[in-house]
Amino acid sequence: MATRNKQSRLQIEIDKCRVEGSWAKVQELVKQLNSKTSGIGNGNDLYVHFIMGESILEVYCKDHPISTQSAGNDPVLSEAEKHLRICINDKENVFSESTEASLLQAKIHFYRCAYQSALTLYESTNLESITVQSSSPRTLHIQAEAFALKGLCLEKLPANSTSKYKAAEREQNIVACFERAGNLSLLHLQEKEKFLHSSGTLPTTDVFIGNVGDVLETAIQRSPIYYIKHGELEEGIKRFRDLLSAVETRYTQHLRLTLARQLAEVLLRGVCTSSYVPPNVKPQKDRGSLTPKKYNQDKVFTPHSQTEETLLLLLIAEAVATREAILNRTVEHYESRKHTFQNASAVFDLLAITLVKKAHFHKLADTLERAMKFSFEEYHIWQQFANALICDRQYEKSLQVLTECHRLKPGLVTPILQAVKLCYEHVRKYDQGITLSKVALEAGDGHPMASRAYIALGVGYSLKASEMKLKADRHYPA
């Protein structure tokens, strides 16, 4: 009895690590389980094979994103497939996860670029009719990935018929797979947080990029974009809103940033004020247990104009981007820091377009000032900040920011001439303006802005001379 309890505790620990995605620890634990279950029963042996195959596959997928899959026969994938085939070929039917093993094998085919083989396997498992008997986050994860990969397989395979009816049916199947995958992905992330919270293992640190997984992230983002690419703009916007209305978890924060930014961009570029349709706040019918939990519509703010919704989306995205920004300047954090900065920079650019249209320069300047803490040596944000300050009539501060812009990119003449104009027209620092004009002339007479630099220098001498009381002082040396 003690041995069975210990084995049961091991399996519970393994399942918990599967949900967390700690695959190295899973492999260690399954080896311990294998040493204690050898000879006890076929079901235990099959469970060990399934976990080994799954963990080997997931470690491979973590190191090889879906954009880099290869048609080659990788030995790591072959080893994972060997373990999974043992579970699939179980004739005694004592292993309950044989369907999940089939879905994971189809995933192996996808990574080998064998899209038709993967699609055949998905169809043989009758994926659409599979029901989740339990709310296991890992089971939801596997099924969500299955629908996502099936949709990607259908996209990559050429159409079998030239019939318009068949083509429309194929497109409907693709978008249905992506929508089902997106719903299951969000539900999986909600159940994952609930599971880890109940088990007392919810991480206390912020969750960074990559926890969702590239397959699930692709699945969630693909369906609205697919609608828009095929000319169904309203359906795409509706799908974006549907995804954003799901209850947020710490695992969906980065995803919410991306979706909010994409929807804001769609509203800015593709929707005019006259054709804008506000979000539908009517309570939706329950579409089944396999849909993510949504916020109560009675307590949700509803925008009434295009600008209002765009600004709301961008402010949400800006809050998440500022919180996610990585301040650590060490080399090992370079890629993550660069990625988070690019996301934040895209949000700030869209926010600038939206706020400038309504002349809300003070709000824009405040937003960009918050970005300064993670914009060290980033010229674009500093230049945007300087322009916002000028529009907000904070001339002294903008002059200091333009000086920093010149330090970041000494070869650019434009920020210097902007600073010269501020010195002459607003802060009345003629000597500093003359000095900056001479700095601009150091770029050489062949520079496209050389003529403007000479004009700026002449204007500076003229302004300085106009303030001189004595004629002798007005003859300023060249």
Chain segment 399-454, per-residue pLDDT in tens: 999 999 999 998 899 999 999 999 999 999 999 999 999 999 988 888 888 999 99
* pLDDT over 80 (residue 174): yes
* pLDDT over 50 (residue 90): yes
State residue 408's pLDDT score.
92
- pLDDT by residue (tens digit) across 3-18? 444 446 888 888 888 8
Confidence tier at 134 by pLDDT (50, 70, 90)? low
Say what percent of the chain tops pLDDT 90: 36
State residue 94's pLDDT score.
55
* pLDDT over 50 (residue 312): yes
State residue 210's pLDDT score.
44
Please answer whether residues 10 and 36 qualify as being in contact, where contact means their C-beta atoms are separated by less than 8 angstroms.
yes
State residue 57's pLDDT score.
92
Confidence tier at 299 by pLDDT (50, 70, 90)? confident
State residue 206's pLDDT score.
44
pTM score: 0.83
* pLDDT over 70 (residue 285): no
Of 238 and 127, which is predicted with more confidence?
A: 238
How confident is the model over 113-140, as a mean pLDDT? 81
Please answer whether residues 293 and 286 qualify as being in contact, where contact means their C-beta atoms are separated by less than 8 angstroms.
no
How confident is the model over 295-321, as a mean pLDDT? 86
**CA pseudo-torsion sign 288, 294, 298, 302:** negative
d(CA 14, CA 28): 9
d(CA 459, CA 85): 82
The maximal CA–CA distance of the chain, rounded, in angstroms, is 109
Beta-bridged to residue 246, according to DSSP, are: 294
Please answer whether residues 266 and 221 qualify as being in contact, where contact means their C-beta atoms are separated by less than 8 angstroms.
no
State residue 1's pLDDT score.
38
Three-class SS string for the chain? CHHHHHHHHHHHHHHHHHHHCCHHHHHHHHHHHHHHHCCCCHHHHHHHHHHHHHHHHHHHHHHCCHHHCCCCCCHHHHHHHHHHHHHHCCCCCCCCCHHHHHHHHHHHHHHCCCHHHHHHHHHHCCHHHCCCCCCCHHHHHHHHHHHHHHHHHHHHCCCCCCCHHHHHHHHHHHHHHHHHHHHHHHHHHHHHHHHHHHHCCCCCCCCCCCCCCHHHHHHHHHHHHHHHHCCCHHHHHHHHHHHHCECCCCCCHHHHHHHHHHHHHHHHHHCCCCCCCCCCCCCCCCCCCCCCCECCHHHCCCCCCHHHHHHHHHHHHHHHHHHHCCCCCCHHHHHHHHHHHHHHHHHHHHHHHHHHHCCCHHHHHHHHHHHHHHCCCCHHHHHHHHHHHHHCCCHHHHHHHHHHHHHHCCCCCHHHHHHHHHHHHCCCCHHHHHHHHHHHHCCCCCCCCHHHHHHHHHHHHHHHHHCCCCHHHHCCCC
How confident is the model over 157-175, as a mean pLDDT? 85
Lowest mean pLDDT among 32-46, 55-69, 267-281, 321-335: 32-46
**CA pseudo-torsion sign 303, 306, 309, 311:** negative
* pLDDT over 80 (residue 32): yes
State residue 2's pLDDT score.
41
State residue 205's pLDDT score.
45
d(CA 381, CA 261): 18
State residue 209's pLDDT score.
40
d(CA 436, CA 420): 6
d(CA 271, CA 277): 9
CB-based contacts of 475: which residues, under 8 Å, 6+ apart?
A: none
* pLDDT over 80 (residue 113): yes
State residue 208's pLDDT score.
42
Of 291 and 90, which is predicted with more confidence?
A: 291
State residue 254's pLDDT score.
84
- pLDDT by residue (tens digit) across 350-408? 999 999 999 999 999 999 998 888 888 889 999 999 999 999 999 999 999 999 999 99
State residue 458's pLDDT score.
92
d(CA 107, CA 118): 7
State residue 35's pLDDT score.
77
Of 46 and 455, which is predicted with more confidence?
A: 455
> Given phi > 0 = left and psi -120 to 50 = alpha, else beta, which region is 359?
left
Return the exposure string of 430-458: e unless at least 16 CB atoms fall within 10 Å of the residue's CB, then b. bebbbebbebbbebeeeeebeebbeebbe
State residue 238's pLDDT score.
93
> Given phi > 0 = left and psi -120 to 50 = alpha, else beta, which region is 294?
beta
Confidence tier at 476 by pLDDT (50, 70, 90)? low
Lowest mean pLDDT among 90-94, 191-195, 215-219, 451-455: 90-94
Q: What distance lies between CA 276 and its chain's CA centroid?
A: 26
Instruction: For the chain, list the domains and their CATH numbers.
Output: 1-125 (1.25.40), 136-317 (no CATH)
d(CA 449, CA 451): 6
How confident is the model over 299-314, as a mean pLDDT? 88
How confident is the model over 14-26, as a mean pLDDT? 88
d(CA 437, CA 449): 11
How confident is the model over 201-218, as a mean pLDDT? 62
* pLDDT over 50 (residue 455): yes
Q: What is the mean pLDDT of the chain?
A: 84
